[in-house]
Amino acid sequence: MKFPPPTRFIVPVLLSLFGLGFLALEYEVLLRGEVQIAEKAVTDLASRQAARLAGLISSAKKDQQSEHLNRELSYHDEDPELKFAVECDLQSQIITASHRAWEGRKINTTPAVDGDIILARVISSGTPQTLILSHRDVLIAAQPINDPVNGKPISVTIIARDLSNPLGEARKNALNHLTETVIILVPCCVLLALGMHFFLIRRIETAALTAQAVLAQKPLNEILPGHDELAKISAALHETDGRLRAQSQTNEELLERYHHMVETLPAMVLVSRNQRIEFINQRGLEILGATSADQVLNRSPYDFLHPDCHADVRETADLLRNGGTADVPTERKIVRLDGVVIEMEGVSSLYHDDRGAAIQAVLTDISERKASEAKREALSRDLQDKNKELEAIVYVASHDLRSPLVNVMGFSRQLAGACDQLEGLMKASPDASVKAADLGPIVQTTIPRALRFIEQGVIKMDALLAGFLRFSRIGGAAMEIQRIDMNTLMKSVIGSLTYQIQQTHTDVRISALPGCEADPIQMNQVFTNLIDNAIKYRHPDRHCVISVQGHADENHLTYTVTDNGIGIAKAHADKIFEIFHRLDPSASTGEGLGLTIAQRILKRHNGFITVESQPGEGSTFTITLPMPHPPTRNAE
């Protein structure tokens, strides 16, 4: 740093002013000295002249006074500085004067008016007196002339000398002394200034430049040599610079590391300030499907948040601004630039910097996790359904299997009782001639009845076990999903039920049906069971009519099987799908599996079956299947 001109020159200027002041003072002192010397000399001379004149006058006769005075005045001609000489009596009347015209006049009426002051002093003191009239550059000296008898003054001689010449001389002398001083002082000052420049100002400038370079982190100049304070400052600045550079390098490395970390993090890192995205990392851009940061920066974060999340995110932002935390990962739906919604999960926090508060968020893509979660949930639902089925089966097994078992047990016991009775009868007649009348009820009623119930029970158990087996086979059978022409399938179904249809004179009406994607064997079974049921539960008083219709909308395929049969009471509508549930076992054959199997098959196809019915009027079974997507699934 160079000092600016005013600063740079202030020291020499001050020094010069100081020098000038010093010189002025010096001149004043010198001058005073010279003037004093000159005045002293003149005073002495005047005193001597006045004394001589007084001596001359007192030793001379009265009439010779003028002569002496004239002599004195002739001396005056030789001494051009002698202005006048007079003799006054004690009443200040001029007795004799160098200027004849003054004789006989009062001294204060002459140009030597100041003579009366000194006259008064001499008279009062009785001793010689001098007086410098500096305003007139004149010196006056007075000497009393005493009476030789009584020694008292009788008159006074007054001499006036011009002081201008001795004073001019004194000034010249003072000036000469001053010149000598200047001749000595100026080189000293120059040397001092040069010394200050080289040893102080240049060093200060160097130190300042060093400080400036430290601030600007530019290369530094050399360290100032020496052991003075400036050298210490310079050394300290160099050391500070070294530390700063080391710190700066560390900071750069840190910055680089953080940059690298944020940019390579497999998560979106986002900073938002005043609802404007201020920063987003590379991964964030990739996730949003942006090719450049401009597509994202300065936009509202809400532009990329699904409206479902807006309220929640606002709440979180308010929470953070009020000192709360949001460090529990929260799921967010993010809308990409192409409009695709992806599931993400993230945490956010608030931080303050010199520009105020900002919210930073770290979000990870959890689409895959959500997909697997959805799969798991589907699996879990599936398992729950299966579990319910199993529970139903266990319930049925415990109840329906136990029911025939109770008969088998009970009637076996009766059979044993009958045997005991027979044995008792045989023992009661030692000749082994048991009466037919006694045997009758046992052999004709008890035993055959017991055997009949035991056999029925066993047959029922067998049928139930066979049903279980059939039912469990559906769950285990592999599905062959393929495109099905439902019209063809229905023809096949009707074909397999031809006998029942003809026997009951049933009228089956089939509309044009939309095709679907499913396992053809299983779908065949569903419709066979439905139409078989419709025939089984036909109304005894009217002609059985069954109609099958189909309908396709955007997402679903719907098939309905409507009959005009006996219908189902509302209370039973849910139960009819339960395993082995039969509305009226006495009225029909079957094991109560048809609808259970149909329901299970549809569930496996992600579809479902429902029933609407008016008791006594008829029922409509509705089958709903998901609309197959263009890329057909091959197999489950």
Partner 1 sequence: MTLPNITILIADDDEGHVILVQDSLRSFGLDNPMLCFSDGQEVLDFIHGVHPKHRLDATTSYLLLLDIRMPKVDGVEALRRIKSDPRFRQMPIIMLTTTDDPLEVNRCLELGCGCYVTKPVDYPKFTAAMQQIGLLKPE
Q: Which positions lie near partner 1, rule CB under 8 A?
A: 395, 398-400, 402-403, 406-407, 409-411, 414, 449, 453, 456-457, 571, 582-586
CB of 301 to partner 1, least distance (A): 53
508 or 566: CB nearest partner 1: 566
Taking each helix axis from N to C end, the angle separating 594-604 and 447-476, rounded to the nearest 10 degrees, works out to 10
In the complex, what is the shortest distance from the CB of residue 458 to partner 1, in angstroms, rounded to a whole number?
Answer: 12
Nearer to partner 1 among residue 144 and residue 565 (C-beta): 565
Q: Output 74 or 445, the one with its CB closest to partner 1.
A: 445
DSSP classification of residue 470? H
* b (16+ CB within 10 A) / e for 496-517: ebeeebeeeebebebeebbbbb
Shortest separation between residue 382's beta carbon and partner 1, angstroms: 23
> Between residues 411 and 471, which has the closer beta carbon with respect to partner 1?
411
- Cα–Cα nearest to 110, from 40, 55, 158: 158
**Burial (0-12, 13-18, 19+ Cβ within 10 Å), 27:** middle
Query: Which residue bears the tokens 């520009």?
Result: 355
Closest to 622 (Cα-Cα) out of 631, 632, 612: 612
C-beta of 503 vs 586, nearer to partner 1: 586
Residue 105 phi, psi (nearest 5): -95, 155
Nearer to partner 1, 455 or 480 (CB): 455
> CB of residue 592 vs partner 1: minimum separation in angstroms?
9
Least distance between partner 1 and beta carbon 399 (Å): 5
The residue with tokens 């179904």 is 493
DSSP conformational letter for 197: I
The secondary structure element, H or E, covering residue 467 is helix 447-476
Least separation in angstroms between residue 364's CB and partner 1 is 45
Closer residue to partner 1, CB minimum distance, 84 or 411? 411
**Strand (E) positions, 308-390?**
326-335, 341-353, 356-365
CB of 619 to partner 1, least distance (A): 16
Interstrand relation of 326-335 and 341-353 (parallel, antiparallel or unpaired): antiparallel
Instruction: Measure the CA–CA gap between 212 and 205, rounded to whole angstroms.
Output: 10
Can you tell me which residue has the tokens 């979660």? Answer: 373
Shorter beta-carbon distance to partner 1: residue 447 or 494: 447
**Of 216 and 571, CB closest to partner 1:** 571
For partner 1, give the closer residue by CB, 196 or 583.
583
The smaller minimum CB distance to partner 1, of residues 375 and 452, is found at 452
Q: Which CB atom, from 348 or from 613, has the smaller least distance to partner 1?
A: 613
- Phi/psi for 510 (5° steps) reads -115, 120
Sheet of 326-335: strand order equals 276-280, 268-273, 356-365, 341-353, 326-335
Least distance from partner 1 to the Cβ atom of residue 541, Å: 19
Query: Residue 413 Cβ, how far from partner 1 at the closest point, in Å?
Result: 8
Give the number of residues written for the chain. Answer: 636
| Least distance to partner 1, CB of residue 513, Å | 34
Q: Which one, of 625, 346, 359, 362, lies nearest residue 513 by Cα? A: 625
Long-range contacts of residues 177-180, Cβ cutoff 8 Å, at least 24 apart: 177/26, 177/30, 177/34, 178/23, 178/26, 178/27, 178/30
Cβ atoms of residues 98 and 157 within 8 Å: no
Tell me how far, at minimum, the Cβ of 453 lies from partner 1, in Å: 4
Which one, of 250, 336, 255, lies nearest residue 290 by Cα? 336
The CB-of-432 to partner 1 minimum distance in angstroms stands at 29
Q: How far is the CB of 594 from partner 1 (least distance, A)?
A: 15
Structure tokens at 92: 């200040």
Structure letter (DSSP) for residue 366 = -
Closest CB 575 distance from partner 1, rounded Å: 9
Terminus-to-terminus CA distance in the chain, angstroms? Answer: 83
Q: In this complex, which beta carbon is closest to partner 1, that of residue 184 or of residue 409?
A: 409
Q: How far apart are CA 23 and CA 628, in angstroms?
A: 116
Nearer to partner 1, 372 or 398 (CB): 398
Taking CA atoms, 365 is separated from 266, 267, 359, 368, 397, in Å, by 9, 7, 19, 8, 48
